[in-house]
Structures are given as structure tokens and as C-alpha cells.
Chains A and B, each alone.
Chain A
Amino acid sequence: MQKRLKNNLGLGGWLSGGRYGIERYAYTLHRITGLGILLYFIMHIIVTGSRMGGPEAWESMMASFEKPIFKLGEFMIFIAFAFHGINGIRLILVELGAMIGKPGLPSFPYNYSTLRQRPLFVAVMVVAAVIILIGGTDLYFLVMK
């Protein structure tokens, strides 16, 4: 058989939303936030396990995390959770059939599932932004202290 040239987009296909709809970017961001939260979570379990050593062990472990870089990191995880969770609610709703419509007889210009759930996507992004803002005021206090 003659030579074929591989033309898969690979991981670039995950990262480049290109001219596709915004849901494609949400997909990529959902993956990145999920990975970030998982990594943080594994560390979190191990770190908070130190409370088994009693209050002294807990205090000394918490003292080592007082630097602002850790507070910022925690806030990033909070933003990640806000997006991942609220977008996740949208994904659960849509993947179980909400707001994507029923099969029918398509007529151009097509109204397809991605377009139909767009209002839900916008609502989800607004809710996530509000939560992030509320969390942001909280961070402001952590920095002010």
C-alpha cells in the first residue's frame, strides 16, 4: 500500500478551539481545571492527614503554608473548582438530554444541540463568574490581613 501521511491533530486538537463554538474551549478548560484540582486534592489529603499528630503538628504544618504564594494557589484552585463544578452541572444536564432538543426534520439554517443549549452555557458562565467574584473579595481580605 502506498505511503500515507498522518494528519491527526493530536493534543493540539484539544487545545486549539479555533473557529469552533465556545463549548470547545469549555471542554479544554474543564480538563485543565479537573487535572489541577485532582493534583491539589491528592496533596490536600496528605497534608491535612497531619492533624492526626494533634494540634501542634497541625499548627506547624499550617505555618509553613502562610506565604502569599500558597494563598494565591489556593485561590486558583477555588477558581478552577467554581468553573469545573458549574460547567459540570451544565454537562450533566446536557448529557442527560436537557436543552438539546429532540430529533426532528432539519431545515437549513440548522438549529442543532450546541446552539440550543447556548443560553444554558451563558447562564453557567455568569454563575461561575459571580462565584469567582465572591471568592475574590474573600481573597482580598486574606491579602489585607
Chain B
Amino acid sequence: MRESKLWFWHITAAIAVVVLLGMHMGIMHVGEILSFVGIGAGDAVKSANVFHRSQQAFFMATYILLLGAALFHGFYGLRSMLFELSLSSGLEKAVSGICAVAGIGLFLYGSYAAIYVFRMKEVLP
């Protein structure tokens, strides 16, 4: 059944998000934690660091993966919540459609940004 497949990917995306977003949060904040113990790793959101990361293939790839997984997981969850509100079947189709369109749209925008910055050769500090 279609819903079973969607739910399967929802679970898979959840696992991917926990791993990748945990990594992302770690990268963003480990600098502050390390500076407490005396290791100076620098502020992760300074532009030099941001662009340094964005132009490595590993980060570009994992950002796109995280984007896709998180968008699918989030919008399927939102659709889940809305489906439990006794909507008419027309409204339910509209909800599914809007979630799909918004998810795909944001994914295209985000991955375009990631690839664009990856290819901005003149910015390496």
C-alpha cells in the first residue's frame, strides 16, 4: 500500500535526520564547548568557516541529504497531523498536494544554494 511505503521512508528519513542533524548541531556548537576546555576551534558561523565548509564535497553532499530527509520527514508529519483533524477528502488531497509542493520546492531551493556555493571558486579564504 502507498501509505505503507510513505511511512517506511518517514522512518528511514527520521533515522537519517537524527544522525545528520545531530552532526550539524555538533559542528555548529562544538567550537564553544571546546573553547571551554581551552581548545580554540573558532566560531562555526563565521563566514570564513561557513564558506570553507560549503566548498567541501562532503559537507555539500550531507547538507543536501539532510535537507531532503528533514523536509520529507517534516512534511509527512505535518500531513499526518492535519489528516487527523476530520477534513473533507477534497481538503485532504489539497493538504497532501501542498505538502508535496512545498517540500519539493524548498528542497530544490536549498540544494541549488548548496551546489551554487560549492561552485563559488573565488571565495576560498
Contacts and interface: CB of A to CB of B under 8 A. Distances in A.
A and B touching (Cβ–Cβ under 8 A): yes
A73 B104 CA distance: 27
Nearest to B35: A141
A49 interface: yes
B42 interface: no
A103 B82 CA distance: 32
Interface in A30-70: 31, 34-35, 37-38, 41-42, 45-46, 48-49, 51-52, 54-55, 58-59, 62
Interface of A: 31, 34-35, 37-38, 41-42, 45-46, 48-49, 51-52, 54-55, 58-59, 62, 78, 81, 85, 88-89, 92, 96, 134-135, 137-138, 141-142
A62 B51 CA distance: 14
Interface string B15-43: 10110011001000100110110000000
Main secondary structure of the interface of A (DSSP, over half): helix
Contact of A41 (B33, B35, B51, B70): B70
A38 B22 CA distance: 16
A50 to B, nearest CB: 9
Contacts of A142: 32
A135 B110 CA distance: 27
A135 B47 contact: no
Contact of A52 (B45, B74, B77, B117): B117
Main secondary structure of the interface of B (DSSP, over half): helix
A92 to B, nearest CB: 6
A49 B81 CA distance: 28
A45 B106 contact: yes
A71 to B, nearest CB: 11
B60 interface: no
A51 B117 contact: yes
Nearest to A54: B123
Contacts of B98: none
Contact of B116 (A52, A58, A134, A137): A52
